[in-house]
Amino acid sequence: MAVQAGHRALLQGVYRLVGASSGCRTHVCSGTGWLSSLPGTRHYSSDPKEDLLVRHLEGEDSGIVVVGINRPKAKNAISKNLVNMMLEAVEDIRKNNKVRSVIICSLVPGIFCAGADLKERAKMQQSEVGPFVSKARALITELGNLPVPTIAAIDGAALGGGLEMALACDIRITSNTAKLGLVETKLAIIPGAGGTQRLPRAIGVSLAKELIFAARVVDGAEACRLGLANHSVEQNKVGDAAYLRALELAREINPQGPIAVRMAKLAINQGIEVDLLTGLAIEEACYAQVIPTKDRLEGLAAFREKRRPQFQGE
């Protein structure tokens, strides 16, 4: 039940609660050194209010948001409470124009997300299952629709709905020891939160069929080779190697023009679903959105003056 003393001391006094009126409260943490500086041996609270921890980085990392899943006893399985908390966190991020990138990670060593919480599912009435799956699917869709870059840092197993969550992110980074797979056919069901659609778009139709039909699980290195992950890194003793690589990538994105990055994501996401001619029209429309911005003028001025631009998202 108790959080390790060092962990509690690190986090004490930096939380604020958002959305308290909704009855579903997401912890938000500010400050630095939150994830990678946690002790190697960690114990976690079983309080459902701490199923999800959201941290807004500060200083030079301002604009990076880290969303940490924290359900150790359930292997970060997707429960009703976690879905509600993540929906609230995603909505808060969507409304915040200061956010420049999001990292989805786990605070539990060796696991990213084991998929649906089957223990909770077994207690549901049959009439409850459909609405819950629909809400989980809506969460993953909303995650995919966030206007800023999203990075899944997969330091452990991402199975079923856990992999579907990662597939909704723009970029996936794995440790070499991570395990990834859409394993639903083992339970005589199919991926129900976008896996049958996003996996083929990520790695191609034939390979996606093979992995889904066989319920195959691949390690991080193989996931990278297949195109399922952008990068695979060697795991470290703490167990957060993928997170650290994701943070490096977020820091590469952070200095770029935030409106430009959002428009680039929109142009890519919408353009990839249509023919080339329509896609070029989408690109033109998105380009038109950046022309009148102050950031574009700042970029030109910084180039002329040979200095680093100071973009404000305006």
The amino acid that residue 68 corresponds to is G
Beta carbons of 226 and 134 less than 8 angstroms apart: no
Phi and psi torsions of 168, nearest 5°? -75, -15
Crossing angle of helices 80-95/126-144, nearest 10°?
A: 30
Active site residues: 116, 161, 164, 184
Residues 264 and 207 sit within 8 Å (Cβ to Cβ):
no
Closest CA to 61 of 94, 32, 89: 32
